[in-house]
Amino acid sequence: MTIDAKIEKQIVTGMIVSTEFLEGIMPIFRDQLQIPATNTVAKWCATYYKEYSVAPNKHIQDIYKQHSKDLESESKFLIEEFLTRLSKRFKTSKKFNVPYVLDIAEEYLRTIAVKELHDKLGTAIERGAVTRAENLAKKFERMARPESKGVDPFSNESILKAFAEDDADRLFRFPGVLGETIGDFEREYLCAFFGVRGTGKTWWLLWTALLASFAGCNVVFVSLEMSEKQIIKRIYQYLTGKPTNKKEIEVPKFNDEDEEGEITTVIKKKKRKQLDAKIALQKMTDIRQSSLIKANFKLLSYPSGTVSVSDLKAHLHNLEYYEDFIPDVIVTDYADKFKAEEEGEMRHKIGGIWRAHKALAQERKCLVFTASQTNTARSGKDIGVGSAAESMEKENESDLIIALNQLKEQKGMGLMRACITKHRHAEWDLMKEIYVTQCLSIGRPYLDSKRNY
């Protein structure tokens, strides 16, 4: 068996920072990590959990000091280096993808157990101890976390665990009444913005990715429509509130004197400095000092139609293996521009891409957010249920769909209307729209929000 130092470090990281992770791994942990340094720290965490029922978190430094005098010099160096790197990592990233790393840990520990059985059986057979070999095989119990064996949904334990996991799975939400209406975005959701051409879907996706990063989520943003350079400029438009090509901007504000049932805006013209490299660099310095960005943000850019979801999975695997980067949120701009992996009619190809997006959310235990154009552009009607172009699989596979509607006169007022056209996990009403003020010239698809009901 090949020892995997990356996986062992991920396991130990989970045991240090997450009580939920410890609860999941303790039933299958047998002090069997293959690297002495990581196994030592794992045993410290297991002992601490048995005594206090929580993860050690920052107390791991105290535990290390308590045991450091008994460590060999090599183990002491490796553990100290690991804890230092871990401390730096969690100053920028507040989330830990517990369910995904638990799946990896279970597979790894099961592999170790089977390898140990294989070695013992081989030794017994070489020595002619057939009875001992039979007993070893008979007593071997497949390692698995309790929940993977099936649970009693009517037990107190399963009820408490199910509702506790809801809190752990929640990642972030939009601000204002928009966030109150849509609710929290959770792991394993596939969410999508639906809009006609020109409604700013890329702006909304990028804003979503940035909010996730501000909330401490590790984010991967995949662009199949714009270059890295264009996306980076858009990020700094948002962060600085500066335009890239003009000095006077129009900023909308909700009109407090609206008549009942009508929502309009008041436009204020403001002069802003034009965004350049100097302003962007200064903003980044300010952000580092204020710790606004609390996690890692990875930007991937591919030409449209050249990369499949399988190719993206391979890239995510490389990020995990070489950079120890596990995303909490994956944003793709957008699903329809991925290369199909299925043959046949366009609707079958598109359907396969959206099924692959949903599978990605489930396999990686993360939130996947994307967008799509609708078939309402010619009719001029608002986006509703059944508006997906080319394939109904877009709506079938999505957990949450947010429609972005905008009349021509509303665009001039800096108004966008957002409504839920599907939510698999909550009640929703097509008649309940949220009006959003926006100013895309400074990278802000959202300034404020207001109910129409």
**Burial call 204-227: b when 16+ CB within 10 Å, e when fewer:** bbbbbbbbbbebbbbbbbbbbbbe
The rounded distance, in Å, linking the Cα atoms of 222 and 370 is 10
Which residue would you say has higher pLDDT here, 168 or 447?
447
The answer to whether 328 and 217 have CB atoms below 8 angstroms apart is: yes
| pLDDT tier, 230 (very low <50, low <70, confident <90, very high otherwise) | very high
The rounded distance, in Å, linking the Cα atoms of 246 and 249 is 7
Q: Which residues contact 297 (CB under 8 A, 6 or more apart)?
A: 209, 210, 213, 218, 219, 221
β-bridge pairing 297-301 and 415-423? unpaired
User: What is the residue whose two structure tokens read 């399963």?
Assistant: 158
Q: What is the pLDDT of residues 364-392, one digit of tens each?
A: 999 999 999 887 656 667 877 777 766 78
The rounded distance, in Å, linking the Cα atoms of 231 and 337 is 17
Query: pLDDT at residue 337 above 90?
Result: yes
Q: What is the pLDDT of residues 172-225, one digit of tens each?
A: 999 999 999 999 999 999 999 999 888 899 999 999 999 999 998 999 999 998
Hey, what are 127's tokens? 């020595």
The answer to whether 219 and 328 have CB atoms below 8 angstroms apart is: yes
Q: What is the pLDDT of residues 251-285, one digit of tens each?
A: 999 998 777 778 999 999 999 899 999 999 999 98
For the CA atoms of 107, 108, 114, 119, the dihedral, rounded to the nearest 10 degrees, stands at: 170
Reading phi first (left if > 0) and then psi (alpha if -120 to 50, else beta), residue 12 is in alpha
Give me the amino acid identity at 207.
W
- 98-126 and 5-17 are packed helices; what angle lies between their axes, rounded to 10 degrees? 130
The answer to whether 218 and 296 have CB atoms below 8 angstroms apart is: yes
Q: Please report how many Cα atoms fall inside a 13 Å half-sphere around the Cα of residue 150, on the Cβ side.
A: 0
pLDDT at 392: 84
Triad 339, 399, 145: Cα angle to 5°? 95
DSSP assigned state of 236: H
The answer to whether 94 and 294 have CB atoms below 8 angstroms apart is: yes
| Closest to 94 measured CA to CA, from 298, 293, 242, 358 | 293
pLDDT at 15: 93
The rounded distance, in Å, linking the Cα atoms of 242 and 275 is 5
Return phi, psi of residue 38, to 5°.
-70, -35
Biggest alpha carbon–alpha carbon distance for the chain: 93
Give the mean pLDDT of 302-307.
92
Query: pLDDT at residue 135 above 90?
Result: no
- 130-139 and 98-126 are packed helices; what angle lies between their axes, rounded to 10 degrees? 160
The answer to whether 171 and 215 have CB atoms below 8 angstroms apart is: yes
Q: What is the pLDDT of residues 32-70, one digit of tens each?
A: 898 889 999 999 999 999 999 999 998 999 999 998 888
The rounded distance, in Å, linking the Cα atoms of 417 and 249 is 21
The rounded distance, in Å, linking the Cα atoms of 323 and 42 is 22
| pLDDT tier, 228 (very low <50, low <70, confident <90, very high otherwise) | very high
The rounded distance, in Å, linking the Cα atoms of 446 and 450 is 11
pLDDT at 40: 92
- 73-92 and 60-67 are packed helices; what angle lies between their axes, rounded to 10 degrees? 170
DSSP assigned state of 388: B
| Closest to 140 measured CA to CA, from 124, 116, 122, 109 | 116
pLDDT at 398: 95
Query: pLDDT at residue 161 above 90?
Result: no
Q: Looking at beta carbons, which pairs linking 147-153 to residues 24 or more positions away fall under 8 Å?
A: 147/24, 148/106
The rounded distance, in Å, linking the Cα atoms of 217 and 326 is 10
